[in-house]
Amino acid sequence: MSKSQYKRVLLKMSGEVLMGENQFGLDPKTVNRVAEDIKQVVDGGTEVCVVVGAGNIFRGVSGAAAGMDRTTADYMGMLGIVINALALQNALENIDVQTRVMSAIPMSAICEPYIRRKAMRHMQKGRVVIFAAGTGNPYFTTDTAAALRASEMNCDAMLKGTKVDGVYNADPAKDPTATRYDRLTYMDVLTRDLKVMDATAISLARENDIPILVFSIKDAGNFDRALKGEGPYTLVTNG
Ligand code: GTP
């Protein structure tokens, strides 16, 4: 049986993944299925930490576009992330996966504050650490939070679980001739403005030499398959 190529990874998921087929909010069936995917990887011996977004609850950028103060909108998004993190923690603990939620914005009654060394200890003990509230700062995306935490945790890879199985040269939902890239460099992503992650996140991953795997988390088992080098995905590295 093939083995994961990585010892410690960060999984980045958009909030939209957790809403399943719904238009907003959380779909318990999807949350449970994602939890099963994470358990499969943890049981295989890989240390996992997670960063989720909040697009299923509130998108800071959309709030700002609708006339809301950008910083307020971003803080509302960060609170949305905490809701998603608690839902995922609950689903993981229901299937006996030990987890700790650590928030970049301290809210001690709900979860632990983010302390890097404490997070490291949790990971060494095989617990799944869910990083909540992004970086704790407005103007930074959850992709950037993911690249930051992956760097701080010395992760061997960052996996971006999306609704499509990699990065395409056009939108595969609109263009049937769109083709998927197997491999890209960080520079390709930056110079061609490919929508993998925002430029801040890509730069951080590049500086810290953390490979990014973009894969579809829509189907069960894909997280594990991607870590074993199986299944379709796009790998972004220094080349
Ligand atoms: P060890 O140091 O390995 O024992 O880690 P631990 O997380 O099991 O120990 P700790 O005694 O720090 O935590 C026990 C429980 O309390 C865990 O479920 C933590 O998530 C939780 N906990 C710890 N600190 C906080 C906090 O500041 N706020 C909240 N809400 N929970 C916390």
Domain assignments of the chain as residue spans, ordered by start: 8-237
Cα separations (Å) of 210 from 81, 147, 178? Answer: 24, 8, 27
The atom of ligand 1 lying closest to the CA of 106 is 27
d(CA 182, CA 172): 15
Average pLDDT for 112-139: 97
d(CA 236, CA 185): 5
pLDDT band at residue 1 under the 50/70/90 scheme: low
What number does the ligand 1 atom closest to the CA of 113 have?
Answer: 27
Residue from 92, 100, 103, 110 to probe ligand 1 pocket by mutation (most atoms less than 8 Å from CB): 100
Nearest to 176 by CA among 188, 184, 185, 168: 168
Which residue's CA is minimally distant from atom 29 of ligand 1? 111
% of the chain beyond a pLDDT of 90: 90
- Please tell me the predicted confidence (pLDDT) of residue 172: 87
167-168 and 180-181 strand pairing:
antiparallel
Task: Please give the CATH superfamily to which domain 8-237 belongs.
Answer: Acetylglutamate kinase-like (3.40.1160.10)
CA distance 58 to 84: 11
Give the mutation target among 103, 108, 112, 117 for probing the ligand 1 site: most ligand atoms within 8 A of CB: 112
What is the structure's pLDDT at 237?
Answer: 97
Ligand 1 environment, Cβ below 6 A: 100, 108-113, 121, 125
> pLDDT by residue (tens digit) across 87-117?
999 999 999 999 999 999 999 999 999 999 9
pLDDT in tens, 173-222: 899 999 999 999 999 999 999 989 999 999 999 999 999 999 999 999 99
Contact 92, 36 (CB under 8 A): no
Write down the pTM of the prediction.
0.95
Query: What six digits make up the tokens of 139?
Result: 């103007």
